[in-house]
Amino acid sequence: MDICVLATDSFWKATRKVRGRKILKTDFIPMKKILATFSAVVLFAGLLTAQQSKGSLDTQTINQLRESFAKSPENTALMNAVSHNDIKNLAVSRENDGKVNHLFTNQVEVKGITNQKKSGRCWLYTGLNTLRPLVREKYALNEFEFSQTYNFFWDQLEKANLFLEACKATANKPLEDREVEWLFRNPIGDGGQWTTFSGVVNKYGLVPAAAMPDTYQSENTATMSRLLRRKLREMGLEIRTVALSRMSEEAKLEKKTSMLAEIYRILVLSLGEPPQQFTWQYKDRDGKLSEPATFTPRQFYDEIIGIDLNDYVMLMDDPTRKYYQVYEVKFDRNLVEGANWKYLNLPVDKIKEFAKTSILAGEAMYFSCDVGKQLNIKNGTLDVNNYNYDELFGVGFGMNKKDRIRTFDSGSTHGMALVGVNILPDGSTDKWQLENSWGADKGDKGFLTMTDAWFDEYMFRLVVNKNTWMQKP
């Protein structure tokens, strides 16, 4: 009698040979062989089910859980409050209100709060905001702002090129390979960190905001980013095939260039085309108007800024790794020829010393942190005592920084410029000032104040000038 069998891949592997010959899925398999294999599968499934049942929620356990929540007027009132209101608002600590002010003994002078709108470009705003005070001081300007859109354009094009090159380099690996899978999951994004900032500025220079203003798409990046990811994934599949083909290297390069031309078109239509040169004129604090001057973006950076971004060092407090060692993150860059994300891992107290020294020297710094933790945006403070979730729920939340990182509960989510510190009479610090890029209507007129305790728990990266870093704090 003929028998029709529906088999899994593992079943076919187990029964792929009968009487010394390879069988096909169209072949019929003897009933005895089928029953033996099926019995083994059923036995394995039974053992797995028995193991799972040991940890299942049975009636006795559920009853114990019910009894653990004592019915009382207090618990009933809490349930009514929590179930009908915003948890964060309920957890705000009244005792902590007003304890943190926005006064600082030392500040880098900042004018003009920026706004990244609905985009992930905080890293770019942060990097440019650390350079703005240099221009304002050098030319005695009331306000000055760089074009974020200009550098964002080149960042996106460079990231697209990096993705295609990475797809070529891994073309001999299967799509299921972890590295290849990561590439296709993350072909491009609008986020970044210091090395993506320094890489694109070193290569393409800078321009004033007026030379390439923001567009709707630069301020609202979600749709453009989604389309770029979709197109790059399509191109990634194609370039893997091209890489393994017998095409000449010249033909392969032409193919990649044609792909990048499509990415360039999307970027130009969304962000505008970057200027190759522009004219800059300014009025200083005394009302004196400068003579107009023409620059290329690279000339503008060299002449107006005149500092070497390679002189900056990224410091990080990661208690899951050994301190006083340098670490590197592969593919965390935007240029093929650029440097990966590298950082020196240091204890937080040492990083604070360098931060204080830099502010005293009048230098703003690139700073990144887990901004969403204990942020009270209404009063513009970052403090570990802003919210009492433990007391609200009667449940302790006890992980330290190391455990939060290890379990993916905490990580760097936002970049800001560190511009102020409050130094107490004994030389210690109790709070710090951050220049944010969420607009002047957020926080304390666009700034955030973080306490020393919050710095310890949620600061991740700080970038300082190595010349300042080498000084004895």
- Cα radius of gyration (the chain): 29
CA 61 – CA 272 distance, rounded (Å): 62
Q: Which of 129, 379, 422, 436 is catalytic?
A: 436
Q: pTM for the full model?
A: 0.86
Is 151 known to be catalytic? no
Flag whether pLDDT at 29 surpasses 90: no
Report the pLDDT value the prediction gives residue 222, as an integer from 0 to 100.
96
Name the active-site residue from 334, 414, 422, 465. Answer: 414
**What is the structure's pLDDT at 182?**
94
Give the count of alpha carbons within 13 A of 340, CB side only: 9
Candidate list 122, 161, 379, 422, residue with the active-site label:
122
Segment 69-74 shows an average pLDDT of 88
373: nearest Cα among 443, 463, 459: 459
| pLDDT > 90? residue 306 | no
pLDDT per residue as tens digits for the range 180-189: 999 999 999 9
What value does the mean pLDDT take over residues 64-73?
Answer: 90
Q: Please check the confidence at residue 416 and state whether its pLDDT lies above 70.
A: yes
Tell me the mean pLDDT in the region 202-229. Answer: 97
State mean pLDDT over 296-321: 94
Instruction: Give the single-character DSSP code of 340.
Output: P
Reply yes or no on whether 102 is catalytic. Answer: no
| pLDDT of 1 strictly over 50 | no
Which tokens in the block code for residue 452? 């020393």
| 417 phi/psi in degrees, rounded to 5 | -95, 125
Which of 52 and 267 is assigned the larger pLDDT? 267
Our measurement of the distance from residue 393's CA atom to the centroid of its chain's CA atoms, rounded to an integer in Å, reads: 30
Q: For 124-145, what is the mean pLDDT? A: 94
Range with the poorest average pLDDT among 53-62, 214-223, 423-432, 456-465: 53-62
How do residues 244-297 score in pLDDT, each as one tens digit?
A: 999 999 999 999 999 999 999 999 999 999 999 999 999 999 999 999 999 999
Instruction: Walk me through the domains of the chain, giving residue ranges and CATH numbers.
Output: 9-52 (no CATH), 106-469 (3.90.70.10)
What is the C-alpha separation between 434 and 1, in angstroms, rounded? 80
pLDDT at 41 over 50: no
> Which residues are paired to 465 by β-bridges?
312
Q: Kindly tell me the burial class for residue 185, based on how many C-beta atoms sit within 10 Å of its own C-beta (0-12, 13-18, 19 or more).
A: exposed
- What pLDDT digit, counting tens, does each position of 323-372 carry? 999 999 877 888 898 888 899 999 999 999 999 999 999 999 999 999 99
Classify strands 447-451 and 381-382 as parallel, antiparallel or unpaired: parallel
Q: How confident is the model at residue 54 (pLDDT cuts 50, 70, 90)?
A: confident
Residue 122 designated active-site: yes
Three-state SS for 174? coil
* Mean pLDDT within 190-215: 95
pLDDT of 47: 52
